[in-house]
A and B are shown apart, each in its own frame.
Chain A
Amino acid sequence: EVQLLQSGGDLVQPGGSLRLSCAASEVTYTSRAMFWVRQAPGKGLEWVSSINYDGSDTYYADPVKGRFTISRDNSKETLYLQMDSLRVEDTAVYFCARGPWSDAGGWFELWGQGTLVTVSS
């Protein structure tokens, strides 16, 4: 069964940093775009960032631009989200997701289980 296994969520102080990971258990990972989507407590879904199949194209939502960095290591079939200068409003469950094709747009075909990031002093 294809899975995306997430790790890295934690409690962090405002201004701090955190790195999330998302490990894929399938060979098609290296040919697909990947995404991060977040959901604040009791709220809806918000797209955070996209990366194409080889990491050459990346995109960010305005609220995280300049603070978050998406990357991937295809040799390890792992996606990352480096989160710097964290703010209270970044508190959310973060999901990784796989796209249907190689470029960074699309829909979210397969989802990780989610990991909670809490930013609080």
Chain B
Amino acid sequence: QQQVKQSPQSLIVQKGGISIINCAYENTAFDYFPWYQQFPGKGPALLIAIRPDVSEKKEGRFTISFNKSAKQFSLHIMDSQPGDSATYFCAAETGGYNKLIFGAGTRLAVHP
């Protein structure tokens, strides 16, 4: 119940295309869903996050879509750029504990 399942494991997108990464969870107590971005040789860094009281959050080219009834959320990267090539992790947290449960990660490659 504590798992967060992430797909796909890897993704190749052409420059200018849309990258979509999906995550699913079981624990309905989760109430905070961040996405982290990790470049080679660096630690993960918070990219964007959402709470389940909204269905969508957009920051620049990055959008989280949240479907509470389906217990799924996804990251959309619009106009994908080679500089977006990184590993992306979804995560979930039960409010009040700051204990993040991470998905297995998606390695994104954006080709020029």
Partners in one complex: no
Q: A residues bordering B, Cβ < 8 Å?
A: none
